[in-house]
Amino acid sequence: MLRGRAMVQRGKLAEAATSFESVIAAEPKNADARFGLALAQARQGRTGDALEQLEAGKGLESNDRRWALALAAVQFRAGKPDAAKKTLEAAIESGGQSETLLERLADLQLQLKDGAGAKKTFEKLLVNQPKRLEFQIGRAGAMALAGEREAALKVYTELQRTNESDLRVWLQPASLLGEMGRDQQARHAYEEALRRDRENTYALNNLAWLLLKDGTDVQRALDLAQRAKRTVRQSPEVDGTLAEAYTRLSMLRSAEAVYEEMLSYLPGAEKLRVEKLLAGVRKKSRKEKSS
């Protein structure tokens, strides 16, 4: 066992697996050895073997939540999010009402766009920790995902009063307001976020895009987009906003340069849209030169 754990720490996963297998051969009911073997196999990419060991280990220690957590993690990594969700739900229903299990389930439900389920899970978490901000924010996000947008905005507004220094209580409702077409309120929320973190990439980029959409202050949109660009090396969202700002201000060579950079790192399937935008900028540039 000790050698197996040491090999895992050194990244020698094949040797670790061999050590754990030796222990299991001698002690088939050694749950710790099966757990170590499963983790080593999962890190090697041997998903099927890892799942088999975790299922076997769960049978040995049915009430130990580590098996459900590890099994769900491997299932999710294997592209089986629904199976991972069912594993966690089953563990919780069987009495494993641990905060760790509930948090992982809530996170998975959000990723699966199950807003109603996530809301219920966060409400369970809030029973024991009613003032924990992560759970309050998570519940608001789940409400929005479940279609309870106005109710979610009320929760965010209350959280802004009690936790105004936390960026999340400004950024998350700003995104929601933008989705709802309430651009003025979204702009206000992004401005508040930037008051607390002047270089927040998300707020800089999204506020710049809203200004471009409105069209009343394109120069400020460019300034914000340039600041966002300085915070991140390659981002299709940020680069797209920056190129659009350059185009609006007829800084066409700069727009071309940004689009050309995007083509250098975007995967093939995403290049077509940028190629069309670049062609449009070049056409506009030729027209301006000939006029």
Q: pLDDT-based confidence at 167, cuts 50/70/90?
A: very high
What does the alpha-carbon distance between residue 203 and residue 221 come to, in Å, rounded to a whole number? 12
Q: Give the model's pLDDT for residue 135.
A: 97
Query: 211 in a domain, yes or no?
Result: no
Query: 6 in a domain, yes or no?
Result: yes
Query: 210 in a domain, yes or no?
Result: no
The answer on pLDDT for 85 being more than 80 is yes
Q: Are 72 and 87 in contact (CB under 8 A)?
A: yes
Cα angle: 118, vertex 122, 128; to 5 degrees: 160
Query: 206 in a domain, yes or no?
Result: no
Query: 91 in a domain, yes or no?
Result: no
Q: Are 100 and 65 in contact (CB under 8 A)?
A: yes
Q: Are 288 and 252 in contact (CB under 8 A)?
A: yes
Q: Give the model's pLDDT for residue 249.
A: 97
The CATH number of the domain holding residue 152 is 1.25.40.10
The answer on pLDDT for 158 being more than 90 is yes
The answer on pLDDT for 96 being more than 60 is no
**pLDDT tens by residue, 67-83:** 888 889 899 988 899 99
Q: Which of 146, 168, 197 is the last residue of a domain?
A: 197
Give the total number of structural domains in the chain.
Answer: 3
Query: 205 in a domain, yes or no?
Result: no
Helix, coil or strand: residue 147: coil
**pLDDT tens by residue, 227-271:** 999 999 999 999 999 999 999 999 999 999 999 999 999 998 899
Q: Which of 168, 197, 226 is the last residue of a domain?
A: 197
Helix, coil or strand: residue 240: helix
Q: Are 199 and 209 in contact (CB under 8 A)?
A: no
- Is residue 147 domain-shared with residue 183, that is, in the same domain? yes
Q: How far is CA 196 from CA 37, 166, 206, 231, in A?
A: 46, 8, 16, 16
Tokens of 25: 């051969």
Q: Give the model's pLDDT for residue 62.
A: 66
Q: Give the model's pLDDT for residue 97.
A: 64
Tokens of 247: 């185009």
- Is residue 149 domain-shared with residue 190, that is, in the same domain? yes
Residue with tokens 């508040």: 192
- Is residue 107 domain-shared with residue 172, that is, in the same domain? yes
Mean pLDDT of 41-49: 86
**pLDDT tens by residue, 172-221:** 999 999 999 999 999 999 999 999 999 999 999 999 999 999 998 999 99
Q: Are 270 and 234 in contact (CB under 8 A)?
A: no
Q: Which residue range is the domain that position 274 belongs to?
A: 218-291
- Is residue 158 domain-shared with residue 225, that is, in the same domain? no
- Is residue 49 domain-shared with residue 116, that is, in the same domain? no
- Is residue 112 domain-shared with residue 186, that is, in the same domain? yes
Query: 116 in a domain, yes or no?
Result: yes
